[in-house]
Amino acid sequence: MRVLVTGANGYIGRHAVTALLHRGVSVAAVDLRTDCIPTGADTYQTNIFDESIDLYHLTGYPDAVLHLAWQDGFIHQSLAHLDNLPHHFRFCQRMVKSGIKTLAVMGTIHEIGYHVGKVDENTLCYPQTLYGIAKNALRQALFASLNDTIHLMWLRAFYVYGDDKASHSVFSKLSESFERGEKLFPINSGKGKCDFLPVSMLAEQLTACVLQNKVNGIIHCCSGKPISLAEKLKEYIDEHGWDIRLQYNIFPERSYDSPALWGDTDKIKQIMEGTAKR
């Protein structure tokens, strides 16, 4: 089994590469930079959007592609999301035409938009950011064009944390605030409930998905357990033993943040429990 991982140098990508290597998988790790890719993978510093490059041949004829590459993932209104959308679609098309049998693409909870309650694969999407709009459009385009030709998975991630110096999440901002010696960390009301998952566990879920071919379609990579932002941040502070307190209602709620939202875990549990094997 050989897996091509795009965005392998990124926040999630490097953890996915590590998880695949721990499974004994041959990994072709591709990105514009390769300085943070874990040792053990075959690294390729190249632009996946360059259509003059035969990436399938270059990376050793992979069996599967785990497509994680995405510019400005933490900048939800960046124009890059729409600018790059057709490039992502054509990249996926090229890899399928080249011969890969499994395509797993990273999705995001921001496809959903405002929603209260559990999200399953039939939940309607009303994205309210350019990031969510572009991801939603890519998913729709891929399933409309490729669903009957290969094993296609859309791996929708929820709220990821951990390895926070490499991310731009509220947890990384909390860490930076503590390191500056600040005693108060300003947030919104903190009442909104989210589905949080450590990046290391997300990597394990991504790996388990790409190494099986029984479960396809939209798969939610999540915990299935909603917890308030305030509660999660307090837990995070206690785990690190930091002397810093939350300062509530300093920032307004974002219009697209739901009061409570979590993922359906039926498919990911089946995969993680090993009842879906290649």
Cβ neighbours of 47 (radius 10 Å): 15
Specify the DSSP element, H or E, that contains 108.
strand 102-108
User: How many Cα atoms are found within 13 Å in the side-chain-facing hemisphere of 8?
Assistant: 31
- Known active-site residue 131: yes
Measured in residues, the chain has a length of 278
Query: Rounded distance, CA 276 to CA 278, Å?
Result: 7
Angle at alpha carbon of residue 219, lines to 217 and 222, rounded to 5°: 170
What is the Cα–Cα distance from 132 to 60, expressed in whole angstroms?
33
- The single residue of 11, 44, 131, 236 carrying the catalytic annotation is 131
The CA distance from 226 to 195, in Å, is 5
Active site residues: 131
